[in-house]
Structure 1
Amino acid sequence: MTRILMVCLGNICRSPLAHGIMESKLSENHFYVDSAGTAAYHVGNAPDKRSIAVAKKHGLDISTQNARQFKVSDFDTFDYIYAMDQSNYKNIVSLARHPNDIEKVKLFLEANTAIQNKNMPDPYYGDESDFEYVYKLANKTCAIIAEGLKH
């Protein structure tokens, strides 16, 4: 089974959306998807209500997810670790124990060659349109990554 982890700062906006979207694009028999945050601000909380709403609008239910903090053992558990932006990438890599850990970490938007800025914007301080933009960007990027994983 291939295991994929989506990581943002608080694990309530970007990574729960990417988690739910990626899960919807891959077979649960062959793939396990989870999400985490590099900070512990929201541990145990459900995703932001705006993330839940935009996911629901697109037919996904992410309301049962709970925020958790990235931990060193995630390097052992997951095959692919996708950071939503450069800051989170650096935070994850700083916890790596050896080069094999670092090899698992990718910047999420690197897979999407149509996007110049490889930092997924954080919609937390924005409005519904910011969450919609993040959803669309995550949906396109998850489709690209999922297609690559299926081959």
Structure 2
Amino acid sequence: MTYRISFVCTGNICRSPMAESVFRARIAETGLDGLVEVDSAGTGGWHEGEPADPRTVAVLREHDYGSEHIARQFQPSWFSRLDLVIALDSGHLKALRRLAPTEQEAAKVRLLRSYDPAAGDDLDVPDPYYGGRDGFEECLEMVEAASTGLLAAVREHLEGRAA
């Protein structure tokens, strides 16, 4: 059975496509690409149908990640098919939990940086959209750091399913 994860930020053009690309690479590196599906979306539909922000694409390419992406808006009906919904900041976490049809589905929503033991108390990935290129680099660093812990959690869950 496939384990499904969706990364969610505001407009689905900066943080969540970056997280999707990084985590998809981690899944492929560990040979789990047949067992785990990864996608992304935004809490709003302002950028639906658009590619990722050019700065996101540039940073991903420079770090050897794929960058194919078309923005879309998260839909509450998706909760039933998803195992995990990863919010990029606490605002997204609250918005997604409000959208969840049940408490059980609301419990599927987690903050990405909660998987990074070095993150400390600030679990938000700052939105780089209104800043310079260094904000996109910082976003990538945070995403990569959290992806290690998220991958470990997903592997543990998959091993539990197999047992």
TM-score over 0.5 for the alignment?
Answer: yes
1:74: Cα distance to partner?
1.4
Amino acid at match of 2:133: E
Work out whether 1:51 is the aligned partner of 2:56. Answer: yes
Work out whether 1:82 is the aligned partner of 2:86. Answer: yes
Counterparts of residues 1-151 of structure 1 (less than 5 Å):
1-26=2-27, 27-62=32-67, 64-116=68-120, 117-151=122-156
Amino acid at match of 2:59: V
For the residues of structure 2 that align with 1:126 and 1:16, how far apart are their CA atoms?
Answer: 17
Residues 29-86 of structure 1: per-residue CA shift (max 9 Å, x gap)? 0110000000111001110000000000110121x21100010111012100000011
Residues 68-111 of structure 1: per-residue CA shift (max 9 Å, x gap)? 00101110121000000111111111111111111110011111
Aligned CA RMSD, in angstroms, stands at: 0.9
Structure 1 unmatched runs, 5+:
none
Instruction: Point out the more displaced range, 90-99 or 50-59.
Output: 90-99
SS of structure 2 residue aligned to 1:94: helix
For the residues of structure 1 that align with 2:70 and 2:80, how far apart are their CA atoms?
Answer: 21
Amino acid at match of 2:17: P
Residues 3-48 of structure 1: per-residue CA shift (max 9 Å, x gap)? 0000000000000000000000112201100000001110011100
Structure whose alpha-carbon radius of gyration is higher: 2
The alignment covers a number of residue pairs equal to: 150
For the residues of structure 1 that align with 2:63 and 2:78, how far apart are their CA atoms?
Answer: 29
Query: Normalization by structure 1: what TM-score?
Result: 0.96
Runs of 4+ with deviation above 2 angstroms: none
